[in-house]
Amino acid sequence: MSLAESRPQTARASADDQPWWKGATIYQIYPRSFMDSNGDGIGDLRGIAMRLDHVASLGVDAIWVSPFFASPMKDFGYDVADYCDVDPIFGNLADFDALVARAHGLGLRVLIDQVYSHTSDEHPWFAESRQDKHNARSDWYVWADAKPDGSPPSNWQSVFGGPAWTWDARRGQYYLHNFLSSQPQLNLHNRQVQDAVLGVMRFWLERGVDGFRIDALNFAMHDPQLRDNPPAPATDRPRTRPFDFQIKKYNQSHPDIPRFIERIRALTDSFGATFTVAEVGGDEAEAEMKSFTHGDTHLHSAYGFNFLYADRLTPQLVCGALAQWPDEPGTGWPSWAFENHDAPRAASRWWNEEDRSAGARMKTTLLVALRGNVILYQGEELGLEQVEIPFEQLHDPEAIANWPLTLSRDGARTPMPWIMEAHDHGFGSHSAWLPIGEANALRAVDAQEADSQSLLHHTRAMLALRNSRPALRYGAVTACKADGDLLILDREASVDRVRVVANFGRETIELNEQQGAGEVLAAINGATSGMLPPFGALVLAR
């Protein structure tokens, strides 16, 4: 049996007429920080396979593995030097095949990251492209002549700071990079480039991959006329980079991107039960997410940044996000993440130390109640906090470039604590690439396994509840009401009706008879049918 043929054939909680991915819970794994199998301080593919029992025990449907491809690691794998090989620090293709087989054996689907907007400057495609203006790949990247005064072709700015153009003396031209200068922009307007990246996708599908998370998809195409971006209007939000001073009208979000997406969908559909989800950020994220997921010829889902960078979690934020995705024909299916490898840990963003335990329990309950897919970031089931990383230990290029104004992404990428009392906390190395953090070490998996009241056990219980209730897994939102700190969320699928009532604040809320009516499926933080203590929540069958 091939790896592709070994894919899990059923979803544990979907109705027969629902695809496996609709309402699925996806567990994101950041390979460098999950488990180190060889003691070099960096997690790897074998380490992931070693700890997959833990992931499967949560009740999730799939894993999403962040980049493990060959790379100089200037942006930790999001600068790809070879799309079809594993970087030696993570193992090799045989290790990846073994990981896929192990995951499928546990009933888990496997999603991997794909970065199609740019490559590393060490990719052979770029090495050829930069040689001259007439080679076979001369138009595979975005090259442009200088203005008459020698300045860059446009005013576009890089996400990581400074102009989005770098001069290359070999070509006598500038090349575009929306991120690091070592991440040159692919020219996806070129059909040959599209064919090449679709060939990459086919390579991994044939190895048994069940789907893809597509990074920075709205950066995939630029304005060929290279028109200047207009200035952004005044705002109260701090501006820490030149990128923040512009409306990103021309360096991203080109209207031809959905046509390329149609080619992606046609390929993945030819492999059967696969799944595609796009990362979409920026000022026009909602419109682009809908465009990228419209109908049956585009991506299955998209997730933006509604919650990832929010300073506060409020009922109004929740209802506003859900309202963007009504249960209507042609409207795509959202995915929701409260945490990931780029965003500060939610527990540290949303609550002080005193409230974090209760807040995390309420947050988990809310996450499994949202209409859409759930993306759970590694360690979120443990309530891991953002770790303060001193400047001399930073690896994150954005944080280093913008120190101290940009919060380091490294603080959310710290290693998983598996064994509280072990010297290496079970990660597999005494000198991990980042410190685990004292507070996070106390939240280790083994300590929470031994505590029936832990967040880990609560997470399992909430995912089991979601998987058992069609209304929670894929049902419509029939009502979402925000009243101060009180959220009332109603979900419905056929005859299954579920209400979630939650208190987002630090003051007790009294519920009237109608608000708290129904069979109590779960009571969080001391909640009752008549009262919600601080961060209390109820899940009710109606």
Mean pLDDT check: name the lowest of 110-124, 220-234, 282-296, 424-438: 282-296
CA dihedral 75, 64, 38, 87 (to 10 degrees): -50
Section 130-155 average pLDDT: 98
CA 107, distance to chain mean position in Å, is 21
Query: What pLDDT, on a 0 to 100 scale, did the predictor assign at position 284?
Result: 82
Query: What pLDDT, on a 0 to 100 scale, did the predictor assign at position 11?
Result: 41
**Does the pLDDT value for residue 180 go beyond 60?**
yes
Half-sphere exposure of 539 (CA within 13 A, CB side): 25
Binned at pLDDT 50, 70 and 90, residue 437 comes out as: very high
**Does the pLDDT value for residue 418 go beyond 80?**
yes
**Does the pLDDT value for residue 174 go beyond 70?**
yes
Element (H, E) at 259: helix 257-269
- Rounded CA gap, 260 and 539, in Å? 41
Half-sphere exposure of 454 (CA within 13 A, CB side): 19
**Does the pLDDT value for residue 404 go beyond 80?**
no
pLDDT tens digits for 285-344?
A: 889 999 999 999 999 999 989 999 999 999 999 999 999 999 988 899 999 999 999 999
Give, in degrees to the nearest 5, the angle at Cα 257 between 477 and 397. Answer: 90
**Does the pLDDT value for residue 217 go beyond 90?**
yes
pLDDT tens digits for 3-48?
A: 555 667 544 444 558 999 999 999 999 999 999 999 999 999 999 9
**Does the pLDDT value for residue 153 go beyond 70?**
yes
Specify the higher pLDDT residue, 146 or 4: 146
CA 376, distance to chain mean position in Å, is 9
- Rounded CA gap, 505 and 526, in Å? 14
Mean pLDDT check: name the lowest of 112-121, 222-231, 390-399, 430-439: 390-399
Can you spell out the DSSP letters for 177-220?
A: -SS-TTSPBB-TTSHHHHHHHHHHHHHHHHTT--EEEEETGGGS
Mean pLDDT of the chain: 94
Query: What pLDDT, on a 0 to 100 scale, did the predictor assign at position 406?
Result: 67
Q: Which domains does the chain have, with CATH numbers?
A: 4-119+188-465 (3.20.20.80), 475-541 (2.60.40.1180)
Query: What pLDDT, on a 0 to 100 scale, did the predictor assign at position 2?
Result: 52
Query: What pLDDT, on a 0 to 100 scale, did the predictor assign at position 13?
Result: 42
Global pTM exceeds 0.85:
yes
Q: How many residues would you count in the chain?
A: 542
**Does the pLDDT value for residue 528 go beyond 60?**
yes
- Rounded CA gap, 346 and 440, in Å? 14
Most confident of 3-12, 229-238, 257-266, 299-308: 257-266
Can you spell out the DSSP letters for 17-60?
A: TS-TTTT-EEEEE-GGGT--SSSSSS--HHHHHHTHHHHHHTT-
Query: What pLDDT, on a 0 to 100 scale, did the predictor assign at position 179?
Result: 96
**Which residues carry out catalysis?**
215, 279
Binned at pLDDT 50, 70 and 90, residue 436 comes out as: very high
What are the counts of helices (DSSP H) followed by strands (DSSP E) for the chain?
A: 15, 20
Mean pLDDT check: name the lowest of 259-268, 279-288, 453-462: 279-288
Section 36-61 average pLDDT: 98
Query: What pLDDT, on a 0 to 100 scale, did the predictor assign at position 398?
Result: 78
